[in-house]
Structure 1
Amino acid sequence: MRTPDDDPRPYRPCVGLMLVNERGAVFVGNRIDTPGDHWQMPQGGVDEGETPREAALRELGEEVGLSPDQVEIMGESRQWHAYDLPPGLSRRVWKGRYRGQTQKWFALRFLGRDSDIDIAAHTPEFSAWQWASLDRLPDLIVPFKREIYLRVAEEFRPLIERLAAEARD
């Protein structure tokens, strides 16, 4: 049996978006393609010739229906974070070309109103959305992404706490 460590397939380059409102809550969407509760932050592939920052802003429009002027980029992860998809899933998605994804994460301050969010603006990926506390994120996410969510939450925690403190003042 093949283990993830001996899988020769590459990781798919991807971006992840931690969209944060003024109270320090994080946007999560429930995946439309999987029944039940499968919440995640927006994410998507980096297209050929596109920078991660450009991909992040494109994905923001596609998955959340927001334009770049409705957010402020507060931070970018110091490193790329990789995860392996479960073996059965990795053979089905992306035509089996990738073992998982490597992600560059962006913390985005939401400057608009909740009514600006339109998860059906493009081909919908989410059936519902909500604002969740930073500490609740790991409990909402599928297990194979949990470690990345913990690392990204800790890296961006100072930015989010500062934002929430400014809103209270």
Structure 2
Amino acid sequence: MQFGNYRPCVGIMLLNRDGLVFVGRRRNKKVPEHLRQGHEWQMPQGGIDVGEDPFQAALRELREETNVLSATLLAESPEWYTYDLPAESLRKSWRGRFQGQRQKWFALRFDGEESEIDIETPAGGQKPEFDAWRWESIHRLVELIVPFKRPVYEEVVRTFGHLAGPQQASRSDS
């Protein structure tokens, strides 16, 4: 799967039962201070492997970054969103092969217990992406992300905003 000069990726909006969104604080301290200061929080995301289905990539990335398996698909973004890396990051990221990312986003409901979330020793032997995590209001996501990713987060919030309310109790016992 190739998209010109954009790296194919997925993003995951993981919502808890109260309609709050999982955000992790980027562990990478090599990010320039002006990009990191107050903008180091993000939702899970990552690359799509060659031949991998985007939804399967989203489940894999979620597990590799958070250890979460207990999640149900709520929605998929109707389109792919792109962002360009800042000029000072282009040569360092992905050895200059991509100018940015093209992302397919998925909204998932976290169905497990919080003890399932493990950012220190995530599944698959991956290096930890995050050094802290929390549940956050969907309305704060845009201000928490690095400025060059804001237009994508604005689209994601617009696309999945209706899902951010508390989960309704099941009426199966009526």
Establish whether TM, by shorter chain, passes 0.5.
Answer: yes
Instruction: Give the CA deviation at 1:160.
Output: 2.2
Q: Distance in 1 between matches of 2:132 and 2:105?
A: 22
Give the alignment of 1:55-134 within 5 angstroms: 55-67=57-69, 70-120=70-120, 121=122, 122-134=126-138
Return the match for 1:159 from 154, 159, 163.
Answer: 163
Query: Is residue 46 from structure 1 mapped to residue 48 from structure 2 by the alignment?
Result: yes
Structure 2 unaligned blocks of 5 or more: 30-35
Which of the numbers 13, 17, 21 marks the counterpart of 2:16?
21
1:51 positional shift: 0.6
Q: Which residue of 1 aligns with 2:25?
A: 30
Query: What SS is found at the alignment partner of 1:129?
Result: strand
Alpha-carbon shift at residue 36 of structure 1 (Å): 5.0
Q: How many residues are treated as equivalent by the alignment?
A: 156
Quick check: which one's helix share is greater? 1
What is the CA-CA distance between 1:159 and the residue it aligns to? 2.1
Rounded to whole Å, the distance in 2 between the matches of 1:11 and 1:135 is: 27
Structure 1 unmatched ranges of 5 or more: 1-8
Give 1:46 shift.
0.3
| Partner Cα separation in structure 1 for residue 132 and residue 117 of structure 2 | 11
Aligned to 1:59, what secondary structure does the other structure show?
helix
Deviates more, 1:46-55 or 1:36-45: 36-45
CA distance in 2, matches of 1:158, 1:36: 30
**TM-score normalised to structure 2 length:** 0.85
Superposition RMSD in Å: 1.5
Moved over 6 A (4+): none
The TM-score, its normalising length taken from structure 1, stands at 0.88
